[in-house]
Structure 1
Amino acid sequence: MAPKKKKELDQDERFQAIVLTDSFFSRFMPLTAVTPRCLLPLANVPLIEYTLEFLAKAGVNEVYVMCSSHADQIQKYIDSSKWTHSSSPFTITTVMSLEARSVGDTMRDLDNRGLITGDFLLVSGDTVTNIDFSAAMAFHRRKKQHDKEHILTMILTPASPYHRTRSQIDSAAFVLDRNTDRCIYYHSVPPPNLPQTSVGLDPDLLEDVDELILRNDLIDCHIDICTPLVPQIFQDNFDYQLLRSDFVKGVLTSDLVKKTVYAYLTNGEEYAARVTSFLTYDAVAQDVISRWCYPVVPEVNLMPSHSYSYQFNHIYKEDKVILAQSCKIGNCTAIGNGTEILDGSSVSRSTIGRNCKIGKNVSITDSYIWDGVEIADNCVIHKSILAYNVTVHSDAEIVGSVVGHHVTVGRGRRLAVNSRLVETPIERESAGLDSFSDDERDQEVSPSVAVVVNDIDVVGVDGVGHLYVSEFEENDSEDSDSEFENTGSTDKMGTKMYQSFKLLNISDDSIASVSNKKRRRKTRRFSSNSVMSTDFERGELSEEEEDFAKEAVDTVTRSIENNHDLDTALLELNTLRMSMNVSYHEVRAATVEALTRRIGHFISTGTLGSKEATVKVFKSWGPLFNRQLFEPKDQVDLLMLLQSTCASGGYGGGFDGQVVLFWAIRTLYDDDIVEEDRILQWWNSEESAASADIRGATVRFIEWLQEAEEESD
């Protein structure tokens, strides 16, 4: 009997890990129509490799890879990987869960198979981390000893709410017991461009809690240490689909389950992130190349066939890379084996895959070029992803776009920002919920897609490809009064490479601008009579700076006319601002001009009256100013720009500047974009009083504000 007992003991001491590979949502469409998210390359390494490397260092003995979408590709990849060799630190098994449409379905399938023998690690196949897992495991075991109802430990990393690797789509607030780190309540937080909510706590949840703390500064990568009860609870609750909003929140608030969840907080110096959107894809890739995730860096060569070596300025190259003498390789760049870059080309803050051909005088910045891509002479690639075997003919320009596998972009084509191209039309997206998308419940039904058939207008006569448009974007463009006009769809937020700087804490004192402070900065002065005055200081402005006002107004106007979301408009404005090195004053001026023109259009065509047009435009597009106002004086500047614009006229017949000014200020005040004190400061300033005629309709509003202030005092 002795040998049998020893065998049973070894069986019980196994530490298992469950890897969720599937993306039950469309944030990476159209790339994930062909390739599963866990196999998308990040710094030229498939995402799942970072997750498996973490599990190897965590001391895991058995790994189960749960597959649904593109399961055959994942199976083939795992079978040919180093993790199946005898030298692998764990055994790895792929589990086909083809009917799963959510995390809940996967966990119920896991419970039905009876694979779990003890506590296990639950992690997503798109996680990149270097955390010390032994400390988290020790924390979990201590809590189990002291709390018999403990079933789950969440591993969270402190970071700024606007940290670039934190998914703004999956943001959440955690209410914790300060003394024990027990999670009392979980509340998902809407993205910044959606209406915010308050956190409501049931007083019964606060029993035996001496002091609580509310944290919304935690990156939740969904690395969880679970007990065998977790799959069982999913099995008993078929309405549980999402890991956080359903399972965790349901367990914490249930009168029947009575189980506890704890949060382990890392020391803040460790790195943890999930690639949940094109925005976080860009952020995590740059962090890996910039060595923030050390020792997970390119020269470690996670793939057996890789041969990267580290050079200065975070430049990495494999062995057989051909670089022309006159080409320029900037910082934070990785170049794969067999790639050739010809004369006059420049690459910076980008990743170039294997066997790529880059022609002459090509500019590649902040982009990701996958294996087998060919880019001809004189092309510009900026903030874009070019998937496997893409061909770009000469003189093309691709900015803020995603070009799918095997697409050909024709000669001289200039893709619109946020374009997504596919080789062949896609009939239907993957169904279900995103593995860890707790804020997208309203999109449980998979959307069908529409494909623009006039492909020549997109890729050119010599191009091959179709423009991919999801159903959400199609509805958005057809219905100007839809809910997406004011909020922007969550799906669109997740599927745009060219993400909004509203989600990042960027101001004039950002890193990008600090590096330029030693340069002589030329700014533009606006007269009090016209927002678009050409009376510039020193008269030494470059052609780009002279064109900023026109291009910025055109950018906002185009966004309004095409009913783009706020994120797109904000990002285009900020990109234009940084490329031309102008101040936020000029961005505000251009935005005011564009909105006023739109109001004038509604009035002159008889569509709406002055009040209705102003409220409509500023309700929908006034939030643009949220990322243009950083100090109190900026609000005063905005009000002065509004006053001078309304006074200048020239916006068509029927335009009443007094009415437009009043309702614009009233709407900005109601939406908490400008504060009461700043409005009064503007009103009492000498500069504003100089054009008192235009302020006639605003007098009553100012008197009301002053009376309210006196009553408050």
Structure 2
Amino acid sequence: GIATDAAWSFKMTVHVIGDEGCRCFGDAMRDLDNKALIRGNFILLGADTVTNADLRPVLEQHKRQAKFDKGTAATLVFKECANNVRTGNELLIAVDRRNDRLHYHQRLRMHHKESRYQIPLDVFLGNSCVALHHNLLDPQIAIGSPSMLSLFNDNFDFQTRDDFVRGLLINEELLDSRIYVAMLPAAQYAHKVNNWPAYQLVSRDIINRWAYPFVPDIGLYKLQQQYVFHKDNIYKSPEAHVSKVALLQNVVIQAGSHVDSGTVISDSVIGANCRIGKNCRLTNAYLMAGVTVMDNCKLEHCVVGDGAIINVECDVSAGCVLGAKSVLPAKTTLAKTLITSTPSRRRSEDEVAVELKSIGPNAYIVSDLTTGDPEDSDGEDLLPQQALCIPKMGDLLAPLDEI
């Protein structure tokens, strides 16, 4: 049964360690080092990483390398990915083919494919056998040595994991520390969900069962069956009410949701207790819990937050994100727009003022006000620190330059 399939979860004890002084990834690593809670090799991954990978071989590889090279600080785990899709987690790296030692690390742009790469000449002059990998995905998984924590404590400018990698590559001799890499097998799944394009991609992969056993019908949540799996990757809760509706492919409908006749749904996720009216068309739409969509609406490549209401004859497409409890007036047409339900206020003197345009009592357009290009940032968090607009949904099958 489900309890047997998920028996591994009962053997796991979770200890939550908090500290009010931690403001970034680097602070958390320094706090762990100060508390001396980790004394051996450890697996490091973010809460937003989705994976079914067996990391035991990678851990053993790291241990063998650490015996040979006492300066082994970490082994970074990567996976090959498609060249035509970018979610902001793709990389170009240069490694020594003889021992998988990392010599160069560069994040690739999210929206525009590079026409050329600039790699320091020293990478090739100092190493006789270098391999370049430009089609790699960084799922933010690493095997760390105990020295990794102390390196964060000794270098307070290490705020993110990318800071750590960059710092070690630049100061390898000074710090006497090195980084190695490991590749996941093609059959194993791993991806980081840190923006809406990644959310869309991982949702599609889960629905298509690439992340098995993490599939909707496995019933890990509350250890009870949540969906019935039908052909064409249709996952429908027994408690969902669907009447004369065309469910084409790759659809998830949660419990308590009601879909009226004449509606066509494909490649979409419908949250719990949603209400969708008649003659609607949903394609690549992600509806959170309690969303109401009135009659004759078209939703395409969008995300709709909890409790939002979309009135009759609305057209929401081309990468819109509607915030929780927002109310879209009837016959509204939106494209590439972020909507919030309330006027935002500046929470501190350092934040950028947000220019809001009201299109209804509970619907305000958030402008794309930024102080710089988010893709210029080398940090782990790809969302710009002073921008309120998040990366929007796109067509995963479209050419890269058109997203």
Decide: shared fold, TM above 0.5.
yes
Structure 1 470/89 Cα, relative in aligned 2: closer, same or farther at 3 Å?
A: farther
1:137 corresponds in structure 2 to 59
Question: Aligned partners of 1:183, 1:99: CA distance in 2, in Å?
Answer: 32
Structure 1 412/490 Cα, relative in aligned 2: closer, same or farther at 3 Å?
A: same
CA contact (8 A) 2:368 2:389 kept: no
CA contact (8 A) 2:322 2:338 kept: yes
1:176 corresponds in structure 2 to 95
1:23-42 → structure 2 map (5 Å cutoff): none
Is residue 105 from structure 1 mapped to residue 27 from structure 2 by the alignment?
yes
- Aligned amino acid, residue 230 of structure 2: Q
1:625-636 → structure 2 map (5 Å cutoff): none
SS of the residue aligned with 2:175?
Answer: coil
Q: 1:264 aligns with which of 182, 185, 188?
A: 182
Question: Aligned partners of 2:291, 2:189: CA distance in 1, in Å?
Answer: 31
2:275 corresponds in structure 1 to 357
CA contact (8 A) 1:174 1:216 kept: yes
Is residue 202 from structure 1 mapped to residue 122 from structure 2 by the alignment?
yes
Greater Rg, structure 1 or structure 2? 1
Question: Aligned partners of 1:139, 1:412: CA distance in 2, in Å?
Answer: 59
SS of the residue aligned with 1:256?
Answer: helix
1:435 corresponds in structure 2 to none
Give the superposition deviation at 1:292: 1.4
**CA shift digits 1:573-619 (9 cap, x unpaired):** xxxxxxxxxxxxxxxxxxxxxxxxxxxxxxxxxxxxxxxxxxxxxxx
Question: Aligned partners of 2:81, 2:314: CA distance in 1, in Å?
Answer: 39
CA contact (8 A) 1:447 1:470 kept: no
Question: Aligned partners of 2:302, 2:20: CA distance in 1, in Å?
Answer: 32
Is residue 159 from structure 1 mapped to residue 81 from structure 2 by the alignment?
yes
CA contact (8 A) 2:369 2:388 kept: no
SS of the residue aligned with 1:361?
Answer: coil
2:337 corresponds in structure 1 to 419
1:450 corresponds in structure 2 to 354
Is residue 506 from structure 1 mapped to residue 385 from structure 2 by the alignment?
no
CA contact (8 A) 1:427 1:448 kept: no
Question: Aligned partners of 1:494, 1:267: CA distance in 2, in Å?
Answer: 35
**Percentage of pairs with the same residue:** 27
Structure 1 117/202 Cα, relative in aligned 2: closer, same or farther at 3 Å?
A: same
1:188 corresponds in structure 2 to 107
Structure 1 91/467 Cα, relative in aligned 2: closer, same or farther at 3 Å?
A: same
CA contact (8 A) 1:493 1:499 kept: no
Give the superposition deviation at 1:150: 1.2
**CA shift digits 1:383-408 (9 cap, x unpaired):** 11011111111111211211111111
Q: Please give the TM-score of this superposition, normalised by the length of structure 2.
A: 0.87
**CA shift digits 1:93-123 (9 cap, x unpaired):** 2233444333222222222232222211111
2:288 corresponds in structure 1 to 370
Moved more, 295-304 or 97-106: 97-106
1:668-687 → structure 2 map (5 Å cutoff): none
SS of the residue aligned with 1:395?
Answer: coil
CA contact (8 A) 1:358 1:376 kept: yes
- Aligned amino acid, residue 200 of structure 1: P
1:90 corresponds in structure 2 to 12
Structure 1 172/217 Cα, relative in aligned 2: closer, same or farther at 3 Å?
A: same
Question: Aligned partners of 1:308, 1:117: CA distance in 2, in Å?
Answer: 43
**CA shift digits 1:220-273 (9 cap, x unpaired):** 1110010121121111111112212x2112112313111121111112222111
SS of the residue aligned with 2:174?
Answer: coil
CA contact (8 A) 1:351 1:367 kept: yes
Q: 1:311 aligns with which of 230, 235, 255?
A: 230
Question: Aligned partners of 1:319, 1:449: CA distance in 2, in Å?
Answer: 46
CA contact (8 A) 1:364 1:381 kept: yes
Q: 2:167 aligns with which of 231, 236, 250?
A: 250
RMSD across aligned positions (CA): 3.0
Give the superposition deviation at 1:446: 6.4
1:683 corresponds in structure 2 to none
2:41 corresponds in structure 1 to 119
Structure 1 192/414 Cα, relative in aligned 2: closer, same or farther at 3 Å?
A: closer
SS of the residue aligned with 1:219?
Answer: strand
1:147 corresponds in structure 2 to 69
1:27 corresponds in structure 2 to none
Question: Aligned partners of 1:309, 1:143: CA distance in 2, in Å?
Answer: 46
Q: Please give the TM-score of this superposition, normalised by the length of structure 1.
A: 0.50
- Aligned amino acid, residue 174 of structure 1: I
Question: Aligned partners of 1:194, 1:218: CA distance in 2, in Å?
Answer: 14
Q: 1:464 aligns with which of 362, 365, 372?
A: 362
SS of the residue aligned with 1:105?
Answer: helix
Structure 1 283/137 Cα, relative in aligned 2: closer, same or farther at 3 Å?
A: same
- Aligned amino acid, residue 413 of structure 1: T
- Aligned amino acid, residue 399 of structure 2: I
2:265 corresponds in structure 1 to 347
Give the superposition deviation at 1:297: 0.8
CA contact (8 A) 2:89 2:192 kept: no
Question: Aligned partners of 1:419, 1:446: CA distance in 2, in Å?
Answer: 24
2:50 corresponds in structure 1 to 128
**CA shift digits 1:48-103 (9 cap, x unpaired):** xxxxx99x96xxxxxxxxxxxxxxxxxxxxxxxxxxxxx73222122334443332
**CA shift digits 1:2-45 (9 cap, x unpaired):** xxxxxxxxxxxxxxxxxxxxxxxxxxxxxxxxxxxxxxxxxxxx
1:495 corresponds in structure 2 to 390
Question: Aligned partners of 2:51, 2:82: CA distance in 1, in Å?
Answer: 17
Give the superposition deviation at 1:280: 1.3
Give the superposition deviation at 1:427: 2.2
- Aligned amino acid, residue 181 of structure 1: D
SS of the residue aligned with 1:384?
Answer: strand
Give the superposition deviation at 1:347: 0.9
Question: Aligned partners of 1:222, 1:177: CA distance in 2, in Å?
Answer: 21
Structure 1 98/355 Cα, relative in aligned 2: closer, same or farther at 3 Å?
A: same
1:292 corresponds in structure 2 to 210
Structure 1 188/427 Cα, relative in aligned 2: closer, same or farther at 3 Å?
A: same
SS of the residue aligned with 1:95?
Answer: coil
**CA shift digits 1:276-316 (9 cap, x unpaired):** 22111111101110111122111112211651121100000
1:233 corresponds in structure 2 to 151
- Aligned amino acid, residue 199 of structure 1: I
Question: Aligned partners of 2:339, 2:293: CA distance in 1, in Å?
Answer: 16
CA contact (8 A) 2:301 2:395 kept: no
Q: 1:386 aligns with which of 304, 308, 311?
A: 304
Q: Identify the structure with the greater strand proportion.
A: 2
Question: Aligned partners of 1:381, 1:505: CA distance in 2, in Å?
Answer: 18
CA contact (8 A) 2:236 2:252 kept: yes
Question: Aligned partners of 2:338, 2:226: CA distance in 1, in Å?
Answer: 32
CA contact (8 A) 1:185 1:201 kept: no
Question: Aligned partners of 1:490, 1:375: CA distance in 2, in Å?
Answer: 29
Question: Aligned partners of 2:219, 2:271: CA distance in 1, in Å?
Answer: 14
SS of the residue aligned with 2:15?
Answer: strand
CA contact (8 A) 2:95 2:103 kept: yes
2:379 corresponds in structure 1 to none
CA contact (8 A) 1:183 1:262 kept: yes
Question: Aligned partners of 1:313, 1:291: CA distance in 2, in Å?
Answer: 12
- Aligned amino acid, residue 307 of structure 1: Q
- Aligned amino acid, residue 105 of structure 1: D
Structure 1 252/496 Cα, relative in aligned 2: closer, same or farther at 3 Å?
A: closer
Structure 1 446/114 Cα, relative in aligned 2: closer, same or farther at 3 Å?
A: farther
CA contact (8 A) 1:449 1:470 kept: no
CA contact (8 A) 1:159 1:268 kept: no
Aligned residues between the structures: 386
- Aligned amino acid, residue 390 of structure 1: A
